[in-house]
Structure 1
Amino acid sequence: MPTLLRDASPSDLESITAIYRESVLNGVASYEISPPELSEMAARFSAITGQGYPYIAAVDDENRLLGYAYASSFRTRPAYRWMVEDSIYLGPEARGKGIGRLLLHELIERCTSLGFRQMAAVIGGAHPASIALHRSAGFEETGRLKGTGYKHGKWLDTMIMQRALGAGSSTDPDPTTYPGTLFNG
């Protein structure tokens, strides 16, 4: 399955919504119970990309969306501005084929080049495949929150993982490398 990574665009939103819908209904990565409509996904997309965060699409050789990944703020208070949280969603046909790994590595590279210093993964359901993916990309487990969500008839834990980007916390950040549209405070 040849895969191309590119910036996601508004024309991808129907496919993004369909992939997310399937994940909400059948998975534990998201703790949403009811899948959001296209208009809500469009608003979320605009909020993320409008602040300069990367939003990446993985497409096949016929430009069909296989999955997507994006970074967003970990928390909104200004001191957190050097840390991002990653999100990765794949269509069922794309799982287990290395596409999540491609998306995560590209997201790490883009966030590093933007000047971010830390990336967190908040893994719903403490999903083993997501934990393994993040571990293979250099993330370390930093905590487990027990019984944080109730979905599909069971209590779910949330795994927190973290990875340094660039110099991490070993040096002060360089404000000139930080995107000016993010965190104006």
Structure 2
Amino acid sequence: MPRNAPQRLEVGDVAEIGRFEAKVVRGPGPDDCWIWTGAIGDDGYGRFAIRRDVRGRFPRRPEDGREVMVRPPRYAVALYVGTVPAGLYALHDRCDNPICVRAAEVDGRRPHVVLGTQQENLTTMGARGRSYGGRPIWQHDGLTRAQRVARSRALRLAVRGGWDAEAVRRAMLIGSQPALFDPVEDS
């Protein structure tokens, strides 16, 4: 397994689950995202701090563990689906929203976040027209890194006091508006 591949992730500590759930706002509709309102890194993806021992298991005493950062969608899969084996990733199957943590099926509707391999993630990216295509890796979804961060942070702010459909819509438009005028090349 590659050195930077994700480790096994098990969830079960009641206090830790409570901390996680307190930072999630669930959209009211059956197809809405569940938005992570906690920490967001400079790449636009969420961060959640947990404590684990060197084997990735719960420490017997909190002081025996070390702080580990995990992506909230991966934690959500472990919480709602079950232990995540080493080497598998949380893939955004339905929404491509880096701070969506909806890993559970709702009213028969598929979850937004599922488990998969890195190869499946890359294949899906290509099928959706999000392959790197020579652009820098941080711009693979058509947004610049700054736009993705701005969108994630605006979305987090839009739901911090509860779901606000109009604020969510505005946040999701960040980076998707085409320029008013395209540059014209001289012929």
TM-score, length-scaled by structure 2: 0.26
Q: Going by fraction, where is strand more abundant, 1 or 2? A: 1
Structure (1 or 2) with the larger CA radius of gyration: 2
